[in-house]
Homo-oligomer: A and B are copies of this chain.
Amino acid sequence: MLYQTPYYAVIFTSLLQDEHEGYSLMAERMEELAIIQEGYLGFESARNELGISISYWTSLESIKNWKEQTDHLFAQQLGRSSWYRYYKVRICKVEREYEFGEKK
Protein backbone atom coordinates (compact mmCIF):
# COMPACT_ATOMS: atom_id res chain seq x y z
CA MET A 1 0.00 0.00 0.00
CA LEU A 2 1.36 3.38 -0.97
CA TYR A 3 0.91 6.35 1.31
CA GLN A 4 0.34 9.84 -0.01
CA THR A 5 3.65 11.68 -0.23
CA PRO A 6 5.04 13.71 1.33
CA TYR A 7 4.72 12.12 4.74
CA TYR A 8 7.19 11.55 7.58
CA ALA A 9 9.32 8.70 8.89
CA VAL A 10 11.09 8.33 12.22
CA ILE A 11 14.05 5.98 11.75
CA PHE A 12 15.22 4.56 15.07
CA THR A 13 18.42 2.46 14.96
CA SER A 14 19.77 0.91 18.15
CA LEU A 15 22.11 -1.52 19.85
CA LEU A 16 20.87 -3.11 23.06
CA GLN A 17 22.74 -3.58 26.32
CA ASP A 18 23.59 -7.23 27.06
CA GLU A 19 21.06 -7.02 29.89
CA HIS A 20 17.81 -5.46 28.74
CA GLU A 21 15.09 -6.84 30.94
CA GLY A 22 11.72 -5.25 30.27
CA TYR A 23 12.80 -3.98 26.88
CA SER A 24 10.34 -6.01 24.77
CA LEU A 25 7.39 -4.90 26.86
CA MET A 26 8.47 -1.27 26.57
CA ALA A 27 8.94 -1.59 22.77
CA GLU A 28 5.43 -3.03 22.45
CA ARG A 29 4.04 -0.22 24.57
CA MET A 30 5.76 2.39 22.36
CA GLU A 31 4.15 0.85 19.30
CA GLU A 32 0.74 0.74 21.00
CA LEU A 33 1.09 4.43 21.82
CA ALA A 34 1.91 5.13 18.16
CA ILE A 35 -1.06 3.23 16.73
CA ILE A 36 -3.64 5.20 18.69
CA GLN A 37 -2.00 8.52 17.82
CA GLU A 38 -3.59 10.82 15.25
CA GLY A 39 -1.49 10.91 12.10
CA TYR A 40 -0.03 7.43 12.52
CA LEU A 41 0.43 5.56 9.23
CA GLY A 42 2.46 2.46 9.99
CA PHE A 43 5.33 0.73 11.76
CA GLU A 44 8.10 -1.60 10.57
CA SER A 45 10.96 -3.19 12.47
CA ALA A 46 13.72 -5.77 12.25
CA ARG A 47 16.61 -6.66 14.53
CA ASN A 48 19.78 -8.67 14.19
CA GLU A 49 22.55 -7.13 16.26
CA LEU A 50 21.45 -3.73 15.01
CA GLY A 51 17.77 -2.97 15.45
CA ILE A 52 15.90 -0.76 13.00
CA SER A 53 12.39 0.49 13.76
CA ILE A 54 10.61 2.93 11.50
CA SER A 55 7.32 4.63 12.22
CA TYR A 56 5.43 6.56 9.53
CA TRP A 57 3.37 9.70 10.11
CA THR A 58 1.30 12.25 8.26
CA SER A 59 2.93 15.26 9.95
CA LEU A 60 5.72 16.48 12.21
CA GLU A 61 3.04 17.48 14.73
CA SER A 62 1.98 13.83 15.09
CA ILE A 63 5.59 12.82 15.69
CA LYS A 64 5.96 15.49 18.35
CA ASN A 65 2.84 14.26 20.14
CA TRP A 66 4.05 10.67 20.04
CA LYS A 67 7.50 11.70 21.33
CA GLU A 68 5.92 13.47 24.30
CA GLN A 69 4.08 10.30 25.22
CA THR A 70 7.08 8.02 24.81
CA ASP A 71 9.26 10.44 26.81
CA HIS A 72 6.69 10.15 29.58
CA LEU A 73 6.80 6.36 29.24
CA PHE A 74 10.59 6.36 29.56
CA ALA A 75 10.46 8.73 32.51
CA GLN A 76 8.36 6.15 34.36
CA GLN A 77 10.97 3.45 33.70
CA LEU A 78 14.66 2.98 34.35
CA GLY A 79 15.35 5.13 31.30
CA ARG A 80 16.63 4.47 27.84
CA SER A 81 20.25 3.92 28.93
CA SER A 82 19.30 0.77 30.86
CA TRP A 83 18.24 -0.87 27.57
CA TYR A 84 20.28 0.81 24.87
CA ARG A 85 24.01 1.16 24.55
CA TYR A 86 23.46 3.14 21.35
CA TYR A 87 20.57 4.69 19.54
CA LYS A 88 20.03 7.22 16.83
CA VAL A 89 16.82 8.93 15.81
CA ARG A 90 16.32 10.43 12.37
CA ILE A 91 13.31 12.54 11.43
CA CYS A 92 12.73 12.28 7.67
CA LYS A 93 10.36 13.57 5.06
CA VAL A 94 9.40 10.80 2.63
CA GLU A 95 9.40 12.46 -0.76
CA ARG A 96 8.79 9.55 -3.14
CA GLU A 97 8.03 5.85 -2.94
CA TYR A 98 7.34 2.87 -5.15
CA GLU A 99 6.72 -0.78 -4.50
CA PHE A 100 6.49 -4.23 -6.01
CA GLY A 101 4.22 -7.12 -4.99
CA GLU A 102 2.06 -7.46 -1.90
CA LYS A 103 3.22 -7.18 1.68
CA LYS A 104 0.78 -9.78 3.01
Contact residues, A25-76 vs B (CB, 8 A)? 44-48, 50-52, 54
Decide: A84 near B96, CB < 8 A? Known: A9-B11, A51-B46, A52-B44: no
Chain A: how many interface residues by the 8 Å CB criterion? Answer: 35
Knowing A46-B51, A50-B46, say if A91 contacts B101 (CB, 8 Å).
no
Cross-chain contact A91 with B100 (CB below 8 angstroms): no
A57 CB to nearest chain B CB (Å)? 12
Main secondary structure of the interface of A (DSSP, over half): strand
- With a CB–CB cut-off of 8 A, which chain B residues contact A98? 88-89
- Interface positions, chain A 67-104, Cβ under 8 Å from B, are 80-81, 84-103
A81 to B96, CA, bound (A): 21
- Shortest C-beta distance, A71 to chain B (Å), equals 13
Known contacts A45-B52, A46-B51, A54-B52; A97 and B93 CB within 8 A of each other: no
Interface residue ranges, A against B (CB under 8 Å): 9, 11, 13, 15, 44-48, 50-52, 54, 80-81, 84-103
